Amino acid sequence: MNYRHAFHVGNHADVLKHAVLLFCLEALRRKPAPFAVLDTHAGRGLYDLGGAEAERSPEWRDGIGRIWDWPAPPPLVARYLAAVRGFNQDGALRVYPGSPALATTQLREQDVLMACELHPEEHAALRRALPRQPNVQVHARDGWEALGALSPPPQRRGLVAIDPPYEAPDELAKAARALGPALKRFGHGAYLWWRPLKSESALAAADDEARAQGAKDTLRADLWVDRPQAEGRLVGSSVLLINPPYGLEEELRDALPFLAEALTKGRPGWRLEQR
Ligand SMILES: C[S@@+](CC[C@H](N)C(=O)[O-])C[C@H]1O[C@@H](n2cnc3c(N)ncnc32)[C@H](O)[C@@H]1O
């Protein structure tokens, strides 16, 4: 486990993933019934943009840094920026909240976050980063194992966020297969599965596998900011939503062209596909 999210935090992939995450959480809040969020690969929660890792690889400058002061961004982006502003009260972007930190901003008393992080240092940092309250649960636990073991949540409604580091070459296929047991137990849950956009054929195979595992109602959103790089640098990412909340497709259709243009490094593009 060498991956450290601090080197990539706030980049174009985080912008897409976290904007979609916040839409999903807002959608869950439309009903008073409690919901659960299972974050299988949570990271350290809060990232210091002036810290050594973010300084060495300041990907956030070409990510959230480019849209931080944008006057009137589309609603999907405005909601995301407002949530990040909550962690930067004086208006300067210094701290970036990862997925579990963003999730805590949307929890009501009756809702629960279960955040899994296996790396000991990242896990310890996550414990320090998240508010100490009974409905925020931090597990030093394998996210793949938790995906089966913690589904369905007692609340019987909620969101599962799957965001592994893709260090192992088979992690895309592994993630697609891991959806099977989770969907069997929690078939009506919403799932947000982030994937790197490196090989279109590998992603298409992963989508097919997800469908074979029981993913029926899906929405795929891709965003890339440049043409593929020979050295494999990440220039795009894809989120697959299973059981996407109502209204997300429309907000993404509005936001993706905006993000592609705002974050471009040469050859931007986007794709949205509902199946
Ligand atoms: C891409 S980062 C997560 C970023 C986070 N979801 C966010 O959006 O802010 C992936 C994280 O998964 C952790 N990790 C790797 N393998 C894991 C496993 N099997 N179970 C749980 N966490 C794992 C890594 O230490 C890393 O912090």
Q: What is the pLDDT of residue 232?
A: 65
The amino acid sitting at 210 is A
Q: How many domains does the chain have?
A: 1
Structure confidence at residue 76 (pLDDT): 98
231: confidence class by pLDDT, cuts 50, 70, 90? low
How far is it, in rounded angstroms, from Cα 164 to Cα 184? 21
Q: What's the CA-to-centroid distance between 161 and ligand 1, angstroms?
A: 11
Whole-number Å distance, alpha carbon 72 to ligand 1 midpoint, is 32
Closest by alpha carbon to 114, among 145, 83, 142, 135?
135
Ligand 1 centroid–CA 177 distance in Å is 18
Find the catalytic residue in 14, 39, 111, 163. 163
| Weakest mean pLDDT among 103-107, 137-141, 223-227 | 223-227
Residue of 79, 84, 120 lying closest to 102 (CA atoms): 84
- Per-residue pLDDT at 14: 98
Contact residues of ligand 1, CB 6 A cut-off? 1, 3, 5, 17, 41-43, 98-99, 116-119, 122, 142-144, 163-165
Q: Each residue of 115-155: pLDDT tens digit? A: 999 999 999 999 999 999 999 999 999 999 999 999 999 99
Q: For the residues 43-72, what does the mean pLDDT come to? A: 92
Report the pLDDT value the prediction gives residue 87, as an integer from 0 to 100.
98
Distance CA 236, CA 233 (A): 9
Structural contact between residues 178 and 231, judged by C-beta atoms closer than 8 angstroms: no
Nearest atom, ligand 1, residue 44 CA:
27
Residue indicated by tokens 């980049």: 11
How much is the average pLDDT of 208-229? Answer: 94
Residue 165 structural domain: 5-274
Q: Which two tokens stand for residue 171?
A: 């992690």
Q: CA-CA distance, 11 to 58, in Å (whole number)?
A: 8
User: What CATH number is attached to the domain comprising 105?
Assistant: 3.40.50.150
Tokens of 269: 């593009």
163 has catalytic annotation? yes
